[in-house]
Amino acid sequence: MIAVTRRNHPPLPVGDSQLVHIVDAALVDAVQRCGDWLVCRPGCTQCCIGPFPISQLDVARLQAGLAELDRTNSDRAARVRARAYAAVGRMRASFPGDPETGILSQDIAAQAAFDEFANDEPCPALDPASGTCDLYAHRPMTCREFGPPVRVEDAGESGLSVCELCFHDAKPEEIAACEMTPDPDRLEGELIEQLERKGYRGQTIVAYALL
């Protein structure tokens, strides 16, 4: 058993269901505009390999999803937890943050180290047999926004980030026409601030969120 400091998981804010609805609706709209440019399909798991920072709001949602899975399919939930424990065991020695709590450090050196951290590690929510996510309905916001063009910092001249498997030979204007605006009213930030006021702070990764 991995020795990990137990912390109370954050409660899921009531407004998260509204956020999920807004983001998922934006995704549906973007997918329709993307058409054949978007090649994301069940079983395409490139975006599920390598950890990425998630918020405490994502942690709360993942925990809610795991609890629901416990009620409907306890064996499947146990496999998700087992994969999470195994992943933490492999990553903790080089974790760029507190390896006990799973909170990522925010200093420049730690952020640089994260870029090279565990890039071959599969997400523990990923079912290796089916190539699909066992917690798909409760996945983090980063996962919900991945695929269509999304405006982010450090995304080059266009400011739009796209999956490298999609939009092959597309012109810049064609990519721009498919831009997804996932959270126009910045509801996610408000919900994260709610949790911070309750003492739930810092970013982590999916493996720690599922312990």
> Within a domain: residue 168?
yes
Q: Identify whether 5 is part of a domain.
A: no
Partners of 49 in beta bridges: 122
Task: Give dist(CA 86, CA 82) in Å, integer.
Answer: 6
Q: Is the pTM of this model over 0.85?
A: yes
pLDDT at 162: 86
- Structure confidence at residue 93 (pLDDT): 95
> pLDDT (tens digit, 0 to 9) for every residue of the chain, 211 residues total?
455 555 578 999 999 999 999 999 999 999 999 999 999 988 899 999 999 999 999 999 999 999 999 999 999 999 999 999 999 999 999 999 999 999 999 999 999 999 999 999 999 999 999 999 999 999 999 999 999 999 876 655 567 988 889 999 999 999 999 999 999 999 999 999 999 999 999 999 999 999 9
Note the pLDDT of residue 159.
Answer: 79
Give domain status of residue 4, yes or no: no
Asked if the structure places residue 117 within a domain, the reply is yes
Question: pLDDT value at position 129?
Answer: 94
Q: Is residue 31 part of a domain?
A: yes
The tokens describing 133, both together, are 């996510």
Element spanning 30, H or E: helix 16-34
In the chain, how many domains are there?
1
Which residue has tokens 């997918």?
A: 31
Could you tell me if residue 33 is inside a domain? Answer: yes
Residue 191 lies in a domain: yes
C-beta atoms surrounding 28 within 10 Å: 10
How many separate helices (H) and strands (E) can be counted in the chain? 8, 4
Residue 9 inside a domain? The answer is no
